Structure 1
Amino acid sequence: MHTTNFMQIFLNNKIKLRAFIVAIVASVSLSSCLDNSGPDSSSIVSAVSVIHASPNSPGFEFVVDNQRVERFSYGDNYIPYFVAYSGNRYARVYEQGSFNRPLYEFELRLINGKYYSVFIAGDKDDLSSLILEDDLTSPGENAHVRFVNVSPDAPALDFSVTNDSTLASNKKYKEYTSFQVVTPGTYNALVKSHGSEDIVFNEEIQFKAGQIYTVWAKGFVETEIEDQAFGVSVIRHVID
């Protein structure tokens, strides 16, 4: 009887110790695999940022493999990079405060050590996703800028920061550019319909040395609701 109790206690403690060691290793892996030096191709994790880009949808809850990540709203509010295990992950989007039925669900295919931006886009009755791999190579003394069109009813768009510098041309809904080199400074950024002089957006945007940005077109061109109207938001990709 005493031998049986001793063996049971020994096995229980061994299991607890193993679980503790696994937890420590996982914690170290998650915190160190993705750092300022950029993606680590030997890691077992990836990093994901999620942007609410559906103008007429409510606030979202974002869930990965049944684990709630965070709630976020349309516009400038988004989920910054969080760590997720690499491989095929199952993502769901719910209305804030309600987990009865997902508004949208999709598969996330994550490669070891890579960074991703996930846009939840479209009309509230026709949600979709745009998953982009983020190249976070340091721009050095310059800035890196990418343009993404996620305005559901916008025409093909051009994006420029100077009269002779078109960073994006003829980008239709859910089309995008790669990251491009831009000299740091404050620019009078223009977004206009491709093939015409119709200015859709005109505003100053500042790009700083050593920083990486995504400029994304959002909202409806045809709407009378101010909060859902066409505009542009800027994401600065922060990995520290």
Structure 2
Amino acid sequence: MKNVNLKTIFKTFIAVAAISTVFAACSKDKYEPQQVAGLSVIDAFPDTMSLDFYIDQTRVNNKRGLKFNDKIDYLNLFPGSRTLSIAKRDGRNALAHERFNMAPGVGYSLFILDTVKTNEKRFLRTEDDLSAPAADKAKVRFINLYNAMTSAVGAGLELGIEGKDTDLFTEKAFYEYTDFTAVDPGESITFNIKQGGVVKTTLPNVKIERGKIYTIYAKGNSAATIDSLKLGAAIYTHK
């Protein structure tokens, strides 16, 4: 049986999104179509804790622990029901786990949100639209992962571009996310995250490239005492 790099395969699949099957190794020297799913993992848990991420019984991040804002690019999974879990770095017991069904030919993002047993929102999984942006455009979506803790400060957030009169997205509460929308590329774009029209945090001087796909998310916790864990924003490219 020949070994095939599934990560490379899924990246190829993303680039040609119309393809619903990819090649994986089978018996002897022959190849037959084998469908895979893709999974990207983002640690959006506002804490200094270092985590391990598991798919079923396999630890994914062997070299070092996941920290707040760390991201694992798309991994390749055979479709079906998979158990995704987190544990303290080199710990034995899962802090949180959940079973998810993975559909063939689909890319997903999994956001780690919390390890507190009383918080039902431990993970957020999204199905990612990895189709190519329109000609001369990029694509952006927005996710509100800022845990405001109380309804008084928990009103929805907006995402806008500095200098634009109309916001890209409006009134997204904690745990809510938008579809991807087309935006113009630019060398130095400032994104504003607002609440009730008031800018709360920014992503300054971001380079948005033609043909690429981005997620911007609000992060942090209103109860945090460490500045890096308070309300902020992050952006990443889907790859």
Normalised by the shorter chain, which TM-score bucket? Answer: 0.7 to 0.9
Q: Answer whether contact 2:158 2:197 (CA < 8 A) is retained.
A: no
- Pick from 139, 144, 152 the counterpart of residue 149 of structure 1: 144
Structure of larger gyration radius? 1
Show the counterpart of 2:82: 89
How far did 1:27 drift? 2.3
- Determine if the alignment matches structure 1 residue 128 to structure 2 residue 129: no
Unaligned ranges ≥5, structure 1: 1-20
What does the per-residue CA deviation read over 1:163-219, in whole Å, with 9 as the maximum and x for residues that have no partner?
2231211100110111100000132211111xx233211332221111100001100
How far did 1:122 drift? 3.3
CA spacing shift, 1:111–1:129, aligned 2, 3 Å: same
- Determine if the alignment matches structure 1 residue 27 to structure 2 residue 17: no
* RMSD, matched Cα: 2.0
Post-superposition, which runs of at least 4 consecutive aligned residues in structure 1 deviate over 4 A? 28-31
CA spacing shift, 1:63–1:46, aligned 2, 3 Å: same
CA spacing shift, 1:234–1:183, aligned 2, 3 Å: same
- Which amino acid is the alignment partner of residue 123 of structure 2? S
What is the alpha-carbon distance in structure 2 between the residues aligned to residue 53 and residue 148 of structure 1?
Answer: 11
Q: How many residues align?
A: 211
- Which amino acid is the alignment partner of residue 188 of structure 1? T
- Pick from 13, 16, 37 the counterpart of residue 16 of structure 2: 37
How far did 1:72 drift? 1.5
How far did 1:86 drift? 0.7
Percent sequence identity is 26
Show the counterpart of 1:116: 108
Q: Answer whether contact 1:39 1:115 (CA < 8 A) is retained.
A: no
Query: Structure 1 length normalisation: TM-score?
Result: 0.81
How far did 1:39 drift? 6.2
CA spacing shift, 1:57–1:106, aligned 2, 3 Å: farther
Q: Answer whether contact 1:55 1:123 (CA < 8 A) is retained.
A: no
Show the counterpart of 1:192: 194
How far did 1:224 drift? 2.4
- Determine if the alignment matches structure 1 residue 73 to structure 2 residue 64: no
What is the alpha-carbon distance in structure 2 between the residues aligned to residue 113 and residue 68 of structure 1?
Answer: 23
Larger helix proportion of the pair: 1
What does the per-residue CA deviation read over 1:57-86, in whole Å, with 9 as the maximum and x for residues that have no partner?
6121111110111142112x2111111111
What is the alpha-carbon distance in structure 2 between the residues aligned to residue 235 and residue 96 of structure 1?
Answer: 24
- More divergent stretch after superposition (157-166 vs 86-95): 157-166
Query: Structure 2 length normalisation: TM-score?
Result: 0.81
What is the alpha-carbon distance in structure 2 between the residues aligned to residue 171 and residue 28 of structure 1?
Answer: 38
CA spacing shift, 1:82–1:128, aligned 2, 3 Å: same
2:4 is paired with a residue whose SS is: helix
What is the alpha-carbon distance in structure 1 between the residues aligned to residue 101 and residue 48 of structure 2?
Answer: 25
Unaligned ranges ≥5, structure 2: 22-33, 149-153
2:228 is paired with a residue whose SS is: helix
Q: Answer whether contact 2:202 2:232 (CA < 8 A) is retained.
A: no
